[in-house]
Amino acid sequence: MSVGAWNVRGLNKSVKQKEVIDVIRCNNLGICAVIESHVKILNLKSVCAKTFGQWDWISNNNSCEAGTRIIVGWNPRLFDVILLSQSKQVIHCYVKLCNSDIGMYLSFIYAASNYIERRLLWDNLKKHSLVVNREAWGLLGDFNVALKPSEYSESCSRTPKGVEDFVDCLSFIEVEDLKSYGFQFTWNKTPMGNMGLLKKLDRVMVNQKFMLNHPLAHAVFKPYRNSDHCPAILNFPGNKVKWKPSFRFANFISEKEEFLPLVKEIWDKNIDGYFMFKVTQKLKILKKHCREMCNKYWGAGKRIQKLRKDLECKQQDIDNNPFDCKIREEHANILLDFNIACNDEEKILAQRAKINWLQDGDNNSKFFHKIVKSRGINNRIQMVLNEDGRWVSGKAMIEKFVSHFNQFLGCKDDTDLAGLNDEFFPKKLDSRVAVDMIRVVTDEEIKLAMF
């Protein structure tokens, strides 16, 4: 299923209506928000009938002085949409997939061009976040403000007005941009002569609960067509691709007493073959034991849960038998193991989140979990652009990666560096340094560097 939002700059003309219909068909949309429609109340019913056909629709015409700003249409066979509230700059809905328990909050936005007027929208979103609470929430539309200098085709030295208000709002409601593909700049100002300006004004933003419920969801910004804004498409892939997790060494296991003896035992094993083959085989054996040790001490939080239950039971026993020294000693041992397990969990989460500026002992696991989930979703590759200019995904994407690198790295050809002058290599090493780099390295130096 897919959800779209497009600033069409007027829906009254039949040309614009046909373009909206084509966007709905080409992107297989189940919900489509038309922004800045400029449709008058008297014409609203006929225009929506031509554009959405048998779909249901709602608008915020009651909040607009002249012309409807936002119209949301949806396929009633796919979605149940409940209008929660509306204003001049936003429509808040609760969307539920028919014959399913899948539901989410969606907000379709057309922010005002004036930064003072946009403050009403930011206040509205802050209040609505209290209604959403911890449920999945997505925001689509034209926010009319860029966040960073990189979101301008021509960077400016000063921060534009209204950016601080937008950043403060995003921090309060705890949403961020969803992983996206397609156009980087979503708004194109009509050029004056040979000059023009591009900005990222249209966005698809979601909260952490949305990312957790829909880890494969992503946004795509399509070409402008006959508008000056890109259609923003929120995709929910139906087929989940199973990724084999890669091995990542957990730094905290190196602090355990059994780690170094384990490494020595594996490194002392006799393996036949060339030296590099021996090293790779020992590393493969060691990888399996490192994974087991990591699961033993961390175990995805299960060990902490078990220790917490044991701790609660012992504390109950102490309350019933306050003078039993044996119970108190057992409680002290469990408490020590519990604190060590909590520190181990924080260390591995901090490593995976690549956050190292918090001191040990903060026990801010919720923060680390959020960072890990956010990084995982943002780093996931959903599709790639091939040489023909087409987007490929799923198994076709995997095959494309393999064929590309087979062609890129598998070619045999002679390399001739003769005739290359200083223009190609302006920086050269000193002869003494160059000789030092190709000298024979002793075993003692290798051991010193590794251990």
Two structure tokens written together for 55 = 């779909």
Total domains in the chain come to 3
User: Among 126-130, 332-336, 399-403, which range has the highest average pLDDT?
Assistant: 126-130
The answer to whether position 263 is within a domain reads no
H helices of 34-162, in order, are: 41-52, 115-132
Residue 274: the pLDDT is: 84
* pLDDT of 28: 92
DSSP string, 352-390: HHT---SPTT---HHHHHHHHHHHHHHH---EEE-TTS-
Structure tokens at 64: 């607009």
- The values of phi and psi at residue 5, to 5°, are -145, 130
Do 229 and 108 lie in one domain? The reply is: yes
pLDDT tens digits for range 413-423: 666 666 666 66
**Residue of higher predicted confidence among 164 and 312:** 164
Tens digit of each residue's pLDDT (9 = 90 or more) over 95-127: 998 888 889 999 999 999 999 999 999 999 999
pLDDT of 281 above 70: yes
pLDDT at 301: 59
Residues 225 and 322 in one domain: no
What tens digit of pLDDT does each residue of 144-189 get? 999 888 888 876 666 778 899 999 999 999 999 998 988 999 998 8
- Which residue reads 């956010």 in tokens? 374
pLDDT at residue number 360: 45
Please return the burial class of 257, using the count of CB atoms within 10 Å of its CB with bins 0-12, 13-18 and 19+.
exposed
- Where is pLDDT greater, at 350 or 340? 340
pLDDT at 366 > cutoff 70: no
How confident is the model at residue 253, as a pLDDT? 82
pLDDT recorded at residue 229: 94
- Same structural domain for residues 352 and 400? no
The Cα 352–Cα 115 span in angstroms is 38
Residue 320 binned pLDDT confidence (cut-offs 50, 70, 90): confident
Q: Amino acid identity, residue 241?
A: V
- Boundary of a domain, candidates 354, 380, 406: 380
pLDDT greater at residue 245 or residue 272: 272
359 and 443 part of one domain: no
Q: In percent, how much of the chain has pLDDT > 70? A: 84
Name 354's Cβ contacts closer than 8 Å, sequence gap at least 6.
Answer: 371, 375
pLDDT at 318 over 60: yes
Would the pLDDT of 328 be above 90? no
- Predicted local confidence at residue 361, as pLDDT: 44
What is residue 300's predicted lDDT score, i.e. its pLDDT?
Answer: 47
Is residue 330 very low, low, confident or very high in pLDDT (cuts 50, 70, 90)? confident
Separation between Cα atoms, residue 172 and residue 20, nearest integer Å: 34
Residues 137 and 187 both lie in one domain: yes
The reported pLDDT for the residue numbered 273 is 82
Give the per-residue pLDDT at 380: 74
Q: Is residue 182 part of a domain?
A: yes
The rounded mean pLDDT for the chain is 84
In angstroms, the CA 158 to CA 391 distance is 37
Q: Do 204 and 225 have their domain in common? A: yes
Q: What is the pLDDT of residue 418?
A: 65
Give yes or no: residues 219 and 351 share one domain: no
186 occurs within a structural domain:
yes
For residues 331 and 197, state if they share a domain.
no
Q: What are phi and psi of 249, to 5 degrees?
A: -70, 130
Q: Which residue has the higher pLDDT, 295 or 186?
A: 186
On whether residue 443 sits in a domain, the answer given is yes
Asked whether residue 159 falls in the same domain as residue 42, the answer is yes
Specify the pLDDT at position 76: 93
- Average the pLDDT over each of 216-230, 285-299, 433-447 and give the range with the smallest value: 285-299
Q: Which domain holds residue 331?
A: 298-380
| Alpha-carbon distance values, 54 to 171, 191, 325, 407 (Å) | 39, 39, 76, 50
Quick one: 437 exposed, middle or buried, by C-beta within 10 A (0-12, 13-18, 19+)?
Answer: exposed
Lowest mean pLDDT segment, chosen from 139-148, 193-202, 300-309: 300-309
CA dist 17 → 89, 204, 224, 435 (Å): 22, 23, 14, 72
Claim to verify: residue 366 and residue 417 sit in the same structural domain: no
Q: Give pLDDT, residue 201.
A: 94
